Structure 1
Amino acid sequence: EEALARWRRALAGTVFADAEEVRMSMAAKAQCDEWDEAIRLYWRQVEQAEHRRAQLAAVIGEEAVSAEQWEMMQQVYNELKAHTEMMTEQLGAVRGKVAELRKKHVRFVELEARQATLGRQIERYKQLQTLLRGNSFVEFMAEEQLEQVTIMASERLQQLTRHRYALELDSQGGFLIRDDANGGVRRPVSTLSGGETFLTSLSLALALSAQIQLRGEYPLRFFFLDEGFGTLDAELLDTVVSALEKLHTQQLAVGVISHVQEIRNRLPRRLIVEPAEPSGPG
């Protein structure tokens, strides 16, 4: 009876009419946990709302905002948000174009460098075309060849004249004689005597034949000299013949056409030509 009395007093302090309603209102533990979670979520949202309200109050202070102003600000906010999204999309498109332009710029720089290289090559080809037009290149090669021949001829002339004379070229491609026995004075070849002119001509001929021997496809086996020995004294004649004999040992047959008896005596092999007589022999 005491328990029943306590029960009735407790029931009177609730919204339930009887025990049956209490039993019907009892919830399972899972349901209670779900309600607890919903309550906690609610209070978190309340805290967040209070925090945002405090931030807003700090911004606007004591100023009041009407509903119309609020709606207008919401509209402006939505417009700005839409504009921001549009600008973000445009920014993405612009970034794509910038990336594409950078790739094209790299390619452009490569093509510019290639064009510069090809331009320099074209300029060289134009210069070569200018040089090869007409006889310019041939004259250039002839000058180079003439310098080589002159150097070799000068060495030969120094041997034949016992280092008295040397051969040089002037600025116009003509020959000059350097008189080393007279302090290296340079003078024209027209000042040479007959014998000296022959030695100079012989030196040039030997140098030219040596160049042909070096550059020819087939070896040069014969070299003939016609006259000129009559202008030499005995000493120079001996020097010239000795030089020719040295040439003969270098796989080169040297033929001499001369009426000088000293030459005939020095040559081991000779063909003597006698003029024909009216009766037939000769």
Structure 2
Amino acid sequence: ELKKQLAEQNELLTDVDEQELQQEHEKLLVQQRELELQDKRLYAAIKNNQRIKQEISGYEARRAACEAEYSLINSLSATLNGTLTGKKRVNLETYVQMHYFDKILQRANVRLLHMSRGQYELCRDKMQDADSKTGNSKTGLDLEVKDYYSGNLRSVKTLSGGESFMASLALALGLADEVQSCAGGIQLDTMFVDEGFGSLDDSSLQQAIATLQGLSEGHRLVGIISHVHDLQEMIDKKILVRKKRGQQGTGSEVALVVD
């Protein structure tokens, strides 16, 4: 039986074409070389991709660090420039001015309350601070006046000419006081006030003069530039400037008057 099977197998082997086997073998060798080349290419690509992935990971870490730094700097920039969403939109310069302006107002109101006989007090417009959250306000330095006679807040634009002069004078004196307080011993020994007295009634004029006289008694020189005759009568040391007319010639003459 075994011999019979062996004979059958031999017959099958004799039927196989050796040339076809050789061609198939060569074909398989070609495929093997192609696969080996493809393997090398894939291996090189994998190595290159691994290197790129490692570089990208490094860039990602640097990008995350840069984004964190940018977020901090951008938030700081928005805060300083008054563009931070949901916050008061006041830039740094205005914020500092508001801080010192409030101090000046505190000192100015001491003078203004006295000059106005307790009627007026200057206030910074706080409603503007609320509006600055939605707008892009960069002022924050608008003024209102509190009228203690009526109990209402109103715009400083509603003040009369004389009242505006008293408010301006009080602000100037408040500024001088604050500068002296913050400047480390610097004294403002001289002050000149130019005009404005003509808009004051007799009572207000008396109050303004009393305030200025109080300053001068504190060893401070206060000069007033004015054409108001009543004011000239109140001042004992004057420099009078008169225009020359007609036969007197041209130009002006200056006279020092000490009563």
- The TM-score normalised by the length of structure 1 is 0.51
Q: For residues 53-111 of structure 1, what are the alpha-carbon distances to aligned partners after superposition, in whole Å with 9 as ceiling and x for unaligned?
A: xxxxxxxxxxxxxxxxxxxxxxxxxxxxxxxxxxxxxxxxxxxxxxxxxxxxxxxxxxx
2:104 alignment counterpart: 149
Could you say if the C-alpha distance between residues 268 and 185 of structure 1 is closer, same or farther in structure 2, counting changes exceeding 3 Å?
A: same
Could you say if the C-alpha distance between residues 139 and 249 of structure 1 is closer, same or farther in structure 2, counting changes exceeding 3 Å?
A: same
Aligned residues: 162
Distance 1:124 1:246 in 2: 52
Could you say if the C-alpha distance between residues 124 and 269 of structure 1 is closer, same or farther in structure 2, counting changes exceeding 3 Å?
A: farther
Q: For residues 162-196 of structure 1, what are the alpha-carbon distances to aligned partners after superposition, in whole Å with 9 as ceiling and x for unaligned?
A: 101111111233111111011x1111111111111
2:208 is matched with which residue: 233, 240, 244?
A: 240
Q: For residues 224-253 of structure 1, what are the alpha-carbon distances to aligned partners after superposition, in whole Å with 9 as ceiling and x for unaligned?
A: 111111111111111110110001122321
Could you say if the C-alpha distance between residues 124 and 251 of structure 1 is closer, same or farther in structure 2, counting changes exceeding 3 Å?
A: farther
Using the TM superposition, give the Cα deviation of residue 130 of structure 1 relative to its aligned residue in structure 2, in angstroms. 6.4
2:241 alignment counterpart: 273
Using the TM superposition, give the Cα deviation of residue 136 of structure 1 relative to its aligned residue in structure 2, in angstroms. 3.2
Are positions 1:224 and 2:192 aligned together? yes
Are positions 1:215 and 2:170 aligned together? no
Using the TM superposition, give the Cα deviation of residue 277 of structure 1 relative to its aligned residue in structure 2, in angstroms. 3.3
SS across alignment from 2:240: coil
Could you say if the C-alpha distance between residues 275 and 160 of structure 1 is closer, same or farther in structure 2, counting changes exceeding 3 Å?
A: same
- 1:1-282 aligned at under 5 Å gives the runs 136-171=91-126, 172=128, 173-182=141-150, 184-216=151-183, 218-277=186-245, 279-280=249-250, 282=253
Using the TM superposition, give the Cα deviation of residue 127 of structure 1 relative to its aligned residue in structure 2, in angstroms. 7.2
Please give the root-mean-square deviation of Cα atoms over the aligned residues, in Å: 2.8
Distance 1:144 1:162 in 2: 27
Could you say if the C-alpha distance between residues 129 and 249 of structure 1 is closer, same or farther in structure 2, counting changes exceeding 3 Å?
A: farther
Identity percentage of aligned residues: 30
Distance 1:263 1:142 in 2: 35
Distance 1:267 1:210 in 2: 24
Do the aligned residues in 1 keep the contact of 2:216 with 2:222 (CA within 8 Å)? yes
Q: Quick check: 189-198 or 212-221, which moved more?
A: 212-221
Task: Kindly indicate which of the two structures has a greater share of residues assigned to helix.
Answer: 1
SS across alignment from 1:259: coil
Q: Which runs of 5+ in 2 are unaligned?
A: 1-70, 83-89, 129-140, 254-259
Could you say if the C-alpha distance between residues 127 and 203 of structure 1 is closer, same or farther in structure 2, counting changes exceeding 3 Å?
A: same
Q: Which runs of 5+ in 1 are unaligned?
A: 1-122
Could you say if the C-alpha distance between residues 126 and 179 of structure 1 is closer, same or farther in structure 2, counting changes exceeding 3 Å?
A: same
2:133 alignment counterpart: none
Larger Rg: 1
Using the TM superposition, give the Cα deviation of residue 137 of structure 1 relative to its aligned residue in structure 2, in angstroms. 2.9
Distance 1:211 1:233 in 2: 29
Task: Kindly indicate which of the two structures has a greater share of residues assigned to strand.
Answer: 2
Distance 1:158 1:248 in 2: 19
